[in-house]
Amino acid sequence: IDSLLYENVPGKIISRSAITKNGYRGFDITNRTRRGDLQRYNIFVTPFEIIFFKMSGNGEYVKNGMEAEKFFGSIQLKEYKNIAEPAVTAWKKYSPPHGGFVVDLPHEPYVGNDGSWIYDAEDKKAGTHFRVIRTDIHNYHFVEEDSFDLGLMEESFASSAFIEAQLARKQINHKGYPALDCKYMDKMGSVYLTRFLIQGPHYYTLVAHGKKETPAMSRFLNSFSIAPFQYREAKLQKDTSLYFSVTTPVFLEDKKIKLDITRYDYISGASEDEETENDILEGGTFRNKTISNDTTGEKVFVTFYRSPKYYYTKDSLALDKDNEQSFFGADSTWIVRYKKKSQLPNKMKTWEMIISDTGSSRALWGKSFYKDGVGFSLVTQIDTLTQPSVFIKSIFETFTPAEPLKGINPFVKKSRLFFEDFISSDSVVHKRALKHIDNIDLDSSDLPPLKKAIAWLNWNQKKYLGTKAALINKLGDIKTRESADYLKTLYYAFDDTVELQYSALENLLQHKTQYAYTIFRDIVNAEPPVLDITAGNNADYRYTSPILPYLSGYSYDNGKFMDELADSLQLTKTILPDLLPLLNLDDYKNSMMKLLGAMVDSNLVKPKEYDLYFSKFLIEAKQLLKKQAIAEKKKAIEKAEEDKEEKKTTSYYYTDDEKDAGNDDLTLYATLLLPYWETQVAVQPLVRQMLQSNDKQLRYRTLLLMVKNNKPYPDSLLRYFAGLDDYRYELYTDLKNLNKADKFPLSYNNHLDLGKSSLLEKKSYGKPDSVVYVDRLKTEYKGKKGFIYFYKYKAKKDDLTWKLATAGLVPEDPKQFEFEHDNNYGKTGMNPPLVTSYGYNRYSFTSFSDIKLNEDEPVTDQLKSMLKKLLYSRRKSAKAFYEEENDRVPTTDYSD
């Protein structure tokens, strides 16, 4: 109470006296604020809540006025009748006004909501308390196993600070519903009987608490039963934002919500005019809202979308496939309970589906509508044991898309419409087309109107350069000789506008044909454009999915045409001899060296093909190595001075133990010179000097080049880097990728050493001060048996507590350190990462956590608890559960 008063009563407390009202004890408090005004409080503590009554006024008003006595004297608290324990017949059945459940209680309960609905009652004479908690959790993309979610409910309750131990646990079926009975003892020796029960999105926790177990506690648990929700009469309602009408007992809130993501005009910059609703619809939109009743906790998620005006897709058959799977994905483990396809009188197609999964009593009910690029979808979570409520059924049965809303058939080409709008004299129509150049899909038949549109643009028009570049970028998608010839023509026509020349060359290379590459070769041989480092403002920074640049065939327009040559090294090799002279131009030297290095590293180019430049590379490498030695010497002197003057940095984000920076330019020179190892005597001493550098990263990269190219190197270097925590796992992985895992030093090829190094590899900066092995636990995940290794760490030396970190899953075989990742996503229904080449491994649990190691608890128990969280957090429902905890267990984007 004292802390409560300190936090909620301002100023100085002048008086405090104990009071009683209707059998409930409390306090009468008078205080004075900093302004000198008096305030008065009556605070009452009930079994279910703490109630504040407050009165304030200027000066002494609260003390001298009659209003205070009148106000506080009128307070009456609701009294709950005492029911003697033997008089169980006096109990009565209670059901909330909105329905949902029925339960026996000693009196009408206190009802509250702290995010969950709470119903409390007590038997004062017996000292027994009863509580019903209903928590509503809606998932629209998966249904979890009942036993797993019940386990999460159990874990949540058992982790309460007042619980001392679990005494019993039993999985049951309560009147047809999945349930779990648990018995606990608290730190005061009292008993808790609990029953966890799931009905669709509704999670019920029943708690009976007393000094000892009584028959009334069991009666309370056993009396609970699910009942239908009660709603008022359904009425027709319309939603003007999502364009639908529905007959529902739940009022559609008319909130003004910003439903559309504001589009930035990447050609012309920020929009000068506010978009009308019609403009938004024409540009394509996606909106959603949830129709819900806060009292019953039922929800239906509604979405509306309209395809952009110029959107076109060739695959009309994909429509049926997409709508059948769009709600819930193509997971082969789904159990389809109901499926129906139909057509409305206005020829709008509908798809309806109810699906569940193994081990779950829950189901997902989805329905979608589609016609001419306009679509709607409904989805809700229900259970398979109870009929859907009036609210849910009425929405699914009466949902009607708005009739006046018109769409455009996406299976008809829009290029003709686009070009008509683009050159239209109507400025509104022209601007609309201008904003959606990126949406238009063109092919070879569209080359004539595209050429016309490019020629039609002139300097008098706003945003000329950006618009012209956007149109030129469309030529990269038309991979014909005529298109390539036209790009050549444009290049020479733009001799005074280097940004547009870049676009022409970039899109020419995006054709990825021998004909286009030959034209590119001829252009850069005759008149290579100046590479202006300030140019590239025509780069296409439009939003795209981060996965797209990694997909085969994807072209990303950024105005840097030299990057395109690396996308097709085989084609680049055919014109390489004619490109090599660009090495003599400062503008092109860096790009050409990187390109040549990539081709040498891929064994596409032999030394004789660039013999002419060997001497140039050698002398430049020697000069760069001298600069590297000077920089290393300077760094060593500065460090010695700092140590001498005790000025060593204490920054958490950088220490001397961090990896050295390396020298990418020297590594590139080494790549180009190494093929001359046997034929040019000057190469070996140069590379050996690099292997003796004080920069560890430079030495390491040079060593890898030697290993990869089967050149002699000191075995001691492999042992040296294997002995460094910061490099051990990286060396292990690199050698494995080079198919030279046998080169890894045996003395460090063990779980403990590799585990610690793989853990540190997760910290790109801010290495922890210390990492100490604790123990390992055996486990199984996705059919793979192995160990999770546990470490404790301190981020800083003076940290008072240790935190836990993990490495694994490590195979049982001591000669193996990690399981190879597989890509069988479709078979399991799991969600894959965007790009598997990112080094993602579904079996990896290696991470630093924020979970503190408690010295007062058995270490093994803490490790087992963390292991359980690690495994559970891979389940979709548990991922969010653990993310809400204060000491978060590391989670990944992967889920089962």
- Within 13 Å, how many C-alpha atoms sit on residue 862's CB side? 20
Angle at 596 between CA 591 and CA 597, to 5 degrees: 100
| pLDDT score at 592 | 93
Integer angstrom CA distances of residue 493 from 452, 455, 496, 500: 15, 11, 8, 10
Tokens 């019993």 sit on residue: 168
Q: How far apart, in whole angstroms, are the C-alpha atoms of residue 453 and residue 459?
A: 14
CATH number of the domain at 2-73, please?
A: 3.10.450
- Domain limits, the chain: 2-73, 88-229, 235-401, 442-560, 766-896
**Is the N-terminal amide bond of 666 cis, ω within 30° of 0?**
no
The residues near 804 (Cβ < 8 Å, ≥ 6 apart) are: 774, 790, 791, 792, 793, 849, 851, 852, 853, 862, 863, 866
The residues near 319 (Cβ < 8 Å, ≥ 6 apart) are: 349, 370
The residues near 666 (Cβ < 8 Å, ≥ 6 apart) are: 621, 624, 625, 628, 690, 698
| pLDDT score at 835 | 32
| pLDDT score at 553 | 41
| pLDDT score at 881 | 67
The CATH architecture assigned to 88-229 reads 3-Layer(aba) Sandwich (3.40)
Q: How far apart, in whole angstroms, are the C-alpha atoms of residue 186 and residue 164?
A: 5
Q: How far apart, in whole angstroms, are the C-alpha atoms of residue 250 and residue 398?
A: 13
The residues near 158 (Cβ < 8 Å, ≥ 6 apart) are: 166, 182, 184
pTM listed for this prediction: 0.79
Integer angstrom CA distances of residue 772 from 278, 723, 760: 63, 16, 12
* Residues lower than pLDDT 50 in the chain: 83-88, 255-270, 535-556, 648-657, 824-838, 884, 886-887, 892-894
Whether 159 and 153 have beta carbons less than 8 Å apart is answered as no
Angle at 20 between CA 19 and CA 23, to 5 degrees: 165
235-401 maps to CATH 3.40.50: no
Q: Edge-to-edge strands of the sheet including 400-401? A: 235-239, 244-248, 400-401
Give the pairing type, strands 770-781 and 400-401. unpaired
Give the single-character DSSP code of 314.
Answer: S
Q: How many helices (H) and strands (E) are present in the chain, helices listed first?
A: 27, 27
Q: Long-range contact list for 822-828, CB < 8 A, 24+ apart?
A: 826/330, 826/332, 827/332, 828/333, 828/896
Q: Which of 170, 163, 204 is nearest to 184 (CA)?
A: 163
Amino acid at site 844: S
- Fold agreement (2-73, 88-229): no
C-alpha dihedral (525, 526, 532, 533), degrees to nearest 10: 0
